């Protein structure tokens, strides 16, 4: 590999929100660096193109608001990849929401994806990545640190993600597994 890029050969990675944007680009880049990738997303018409660019990676349609769909997507990835080393909780939506005069439906539509979807993803993947080389990555945006106007509903997920995920090599403090016992 050139430019200081390490090979990811042998790593098994699940990416949520993989139909477009960061998720699709990340899945492609991980595959280029040697990882075996599974991709899930809620836009099957867009999602179908990503696995082809990732060596015919396993994929499925998944609405992260549904715990059952997330559980099934993680199991699909584990079955097809022969296990799981990394989960990338990337699925998320942004919407503007002023507190004064804002539509509460916006908050109620975004938080099941941004908060519950992240939780469901990490919860379902945790038993599979609870090993020494396991890793969970929650994709957040600058919204976690910058107070952009009208993005309170979107920002809620990113602030929470920033506080629950530990640095590389450490299990999150809330992770109660045998892998965390030796930290």
Residues known to be catalytic? 154
- Of 92, 74, 91, 90, the residue nearest 12 (C-alpha): 74
Distance CA 41, CA 117 (A): 11
Q: Going by DSSP bridges, is the β-strand pair 86-89/12-15 parallel, antiparallel, or unpaired?
A: parallel
> Can you tell me whether residue 20 is helix, strand or coil?
coil
Measured over the CA atoms of residue 83, residue 85, residue 91 and residue 92, the dihedral's sign is positive
């Amino acid at each position: 590999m050139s430019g200081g890029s390490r090979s990811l050969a042998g790593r098994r990675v699940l990416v949520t929100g993989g139909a477009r944007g960061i998720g699709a680009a990340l899945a492609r880049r991980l595959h280029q660096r040697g990882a075996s990738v599974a991709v899930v997303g809620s836009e099957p018409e867009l999602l179908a193109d990503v696995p082809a660019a990732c060596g015919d990676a396993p994929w499925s349609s998944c609405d992260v608001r549904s715990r059952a769909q997330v559980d099934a997507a993680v199991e699909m990835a584990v079955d097809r990849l022969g296990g799981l080393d990394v989960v990338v909780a990337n699925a998320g939506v942004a919407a503007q929401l002023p507190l004064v005069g804002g539509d509460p439906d916006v908050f109620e539509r975004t938080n099941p994806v941004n908060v519950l979807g992240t939780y469901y993803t990490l919860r379902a993947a945790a038993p599979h990545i609870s090993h020494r080389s396991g890793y969970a990555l929650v994709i957040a945006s600058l919204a976690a640190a910058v107070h952009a106007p009208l993005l309170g509903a979107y920002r809620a997920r990113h602030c929470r993600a920033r506080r629950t995920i530990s640095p590389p090599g450490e299990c999150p403090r809330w992770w109660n597994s045998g892998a965390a016992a030796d930290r």
